[in-house]
Each structure stands twice: as C-alpha cells, then as structure tokens.
Structure 1
Amino acid sequence: MATADASGALARVRRHPKATVAVVSVIGYVAVIGTFAGVFPIFPELTKGQVNLLSHAIAVVNTVATASLALGWYWIRQNEVRRHAAAMVTSFALILVFLVLYLLKVGGGPGEKQILIESTMFLGAYAGTVKAAYLGMLAIHIFLSVVSVPVVLYAITLAATHSVEELRSETPHRKVGRIAAGSWLLSLSLGVVTYVLLNWVYTYEFVQVSY
C-alpha cells in the first residue's frame, strides 16, 4: 500500500511539476518570512555565542554545497550523468541543512518581539568602497537566494520524476538547470564571501531593537 501511494504521489508530481514547485516554494517562503516576523515561537532562545557558532556552521555547509554544485556542473559537461546527479542531490540536501540552521539562527537569535541587526564596522582609507562592495554582494546574494528557489525546485522536480532520456528529450531540464545552477552557485559564493568579510576580515556588533 505504501509503495502504491508513493508511486501515485510521484505520478501526480510528474504530471504537475509547476504546481508542485509553486506549493513547496510558498511553504518555504512562509517558513522564512514567518520566522523573521516571529510568528513561529518554536525555536529555543540562543546566546550570542550560539548564534556565532551557527553562522560558522552555515558557512561550512554553503562552502561544501558550492563545491558540490561546481562539480555537478563540470560533470554534466563531461556527460558523467550519474556523478552529476549525485552532486546535485548532495547540494540540495546541504541546502536543506542550511535552511534548518538558518531558521534556527533567525528564530532563536532575537529575543521576543525584537530583531537582530548585524552592523558591519568597516575601517580604513577605503572603508566606503569596501562597505559598498559588501552591501552590493549581500543584496545580490539575498535576491538570488529568493528568486532561485522555484527555479532550483523545478529542476530538481523534473530530475526526480523523469529518466535521463526523458529529461533530454521531453523536458526543459537542461535549460532550467543551467539557470538554476548558475544563480544558485553565484548566490552561495557571494554568501560565503560576505561571511568571510563580516566574520574574519572586518568586525560586527549585535544591536537589538524592539518593534
């Protein structure tokens, strides 16, 4: 019975990949926005040290995911489909780990009805230029993180519900995959760079503001 149910669900996803992606994307957006807004009081309160530790863990996860994505891109260009698939599944699994850690950091970091602000302290002769570059990279990272979600999910959904031959002949997986991998790779790379700038090159302070 369980196998039949799973097969039926997979068949429905195969027939309606865009609808599936839309539903999952909305759930993801609601989870993140709701956590930022504090409407999900399910997270344990974290100390500054624990928030820092989560930031480091997130950076490690994103770095490994970036490497996995780059390998997946390389392997598909070499027509090594199995390695490509394994790399992309690994990358997707790591992004799910990132999401859990990120929600825990956001949901547990601020106090009740407070928002946590990381204020970067740039010093030196080129402080203005460096800060502008940092904020620009951060903005691109956040933008791509948001808009790439449905594209990545669509590519993953097609891959999970079609054979290799079907992907190549019957679906836009190749085109969508290029867009998904490119935006995903750039977003992760910029996220790692901004993390390094914020945590290892410059410094930051925590400011809690009630709302």
Structure 2
Amino acid sequence: MATADASGPLARVREYPRATVAVVSVIGYAAVIGTFAGVFPIFPDLTRGQVNLLSHAIAVVNTVTTVTIALGWYWIRRGEVRRHAAAMGTSFGLILVFLVMYLLKVGGGPGEKRIVIESGMFLGAFAGTVEAVYLAMLAIHILLSVVSVPVVLYAITLAATHSVEELRTETPHRKIGRIAAGSWLVSLTLGVVTYVLLNWVYAYEFVEVSY
C-alpha cells in the first residue's frame, strides 16, 4: 500500500479508481460470458477426468483463499496492516488462478455436472429438499461471485494506489473492504460446500448444455 507516483502508471488509476474498476469488471464479465457462449474457441477439449481434476484443484484454491481472507480480516482487526495486505494480495492472486482454471473447465469441458441424489444416500429420503437446498446454496454462491467482482476490485485498487494513512482518512477502503471480504467469504464457503456435496457426498451426471 503506497501512494502512486504522480507521473507513474498508477497515477491515472488513483485518479479514476471507479472508472478503472468498471473497465476491468466489464472485461472480466465479458470473458466469462463469452466462454459460456462458446465465442472464444481457444480452449482445448477436456475429458471428464480432466474436468474432475480441475474441479478438485479449484476447490483446493478456494479453500486456501477462504483461509487467507479470514486471516487478512483477523490481522487488520489487530492492526497488523502488512500481514493484512499480504493476505489480501495473496487472496486476489488465488482468485485469478481460480478464474483461469474455471474458464478452462467451462470452455473445454464436455458438459455441466448436475447433482444426483438417490435413496440410500445421506438424507436420500429427503432428496427433493436436499437438492433444493443445494441449488439455493449454488445460486447464492454464483450471485455473490458475480456482484462481488467490482467491490473486490475497488478495495484492491484503493489499496494499491494509496498509503495506509490515506486509506484510513481519504477513502472508503475500510467500509468497502468489509463488504468485499464478507461477500467473498460467503461465496467461497458455499462454493466449497456445494463442491463437497456434488463430488463426495452424492453423485453427479454430465449434461450437455447449450448457451
């Protein structure tokens, strides 16, 4: 966290943080939507086994990210700014790793995995209710993943272009950071929970999806 040089590359970002966040957010949304729509024929065809490996890797990355965000939150509450900054910077880097793997899985995968709950499985007698809860958690996870993007980017942008003192006195970084970290944590936690339910507690099937 440091003040950007008035003539350096971060000067424009510092001057127009919201515009910067808007541009980056649009690019990110376009990349994800374009991948789902199949307009980027740049991904290799993946087997179901490779998709599963990516799913496991993504879950590991998301779990580690959850821990680093929680640590960052804990450290800033104790006034340990450097540790907080390192934890949040690490979290942001891990999210970029997640994004690459996620786009690869979606763009090259043979279809979408859908949960299958049968009698004899855990709470199999309540399959309808369990599936509804699973889908609700998945929907909240996806929604928070989408809406938290500009909030997280805004918090990161402010942190990258201002000193610690400026963040405290001249920017809404503290408030924005709380919203970003909170929504990020809930989204990641629900993502990991739904991953466990889909891949380890219940069964799944691959379904071809046309967007």
Percentage identity across paired residues of the two chains: 83
Normalising to structure 1: TM-score of the pair?
0.93
User: CA–CA distance in 1 between the matches of 2:7 and 2:69?
Assistant: 29
Which residues in structure 2 correspond to 1:55-74 (within 5 Å)?
A: 55-74=55-74
Structure 1 moving runs of 4+ over 6 Å: none
Q: Does 2:152 correspond to 1:152?
A: yes
Query: Match for residue 42 of structure 2?
Result: 42
Q: 1:83 to 1:209 in 2, by over 3 A?
A: closer
User: CA–CA distance in 2 between the matches of 1:25 and 1:6?
Assistant: 25
User: CA–CA distance in 2 between the matches of 1:210 and 1:136?
Assistant: 22
Q: Given residue 113 of structure 2, which amino acid in structure 1 is its aligned partner?
A: E
Which residues in structure 2 correspond to 1:1-211 (within 5 Å)?
A: 7-110=7-110, 116-123=111-118, 124-209=124-209
Q: 1:45 to 1:6 in 2, by over 3 A?
A: farther
Q: Which runs of 5+ in 1 are unaligned?
A: 111-115
Aligned length: 203
Normalising to structure 2: TM-score of the pair?
0.93
Of stretches 180-189 and 122-131 in structure 1, the one that deviates more from structure 2 is: 122-131
User: CA–CA distance in 2 between the matches of 1:15 and 1:210?
Assistant: 42
Q: Given residue 178 of structure 1, which amino acid in structure 2 is its aligned partner?
A: R
Greater RCO (Cα-Cα under 8 Å, separation 6 or more)? 2
Q: How far did residue 8 of structure 1 move?
A: 2.8
User: CA–CA distance in 1 between the matches of 2:115 and 2:43?
Assistant: 26
Q: Which runs of 5+ in 2 are unaligned?
A: 119-123
Q: Given residue 47 of structure 2, which amino acid in structure 1 is its aligned partner?
A: T
For each residue in 1:130-180, what CA deviation from the matched residue of structure 2 results, as whole angstroms up to 9, or x when unmatched? 111100100000000000000000000000000000000000000000000
Q: 1:80 to 1:209 in 2, by over 3 A?
A: closer
For each residue in 1:34-74, what CA deviation from the matched residue of structure 2 results, as whole angstroms up to 9, or x when unmatched? 00000000011100100000000000000000000000000
Of stretches 133-142 and 6-15 in structure 1, the one that deviates more from structure 2 is: 6-15
Q: 1:26 to 1:210 in 2, by over 3 A?
A: closer
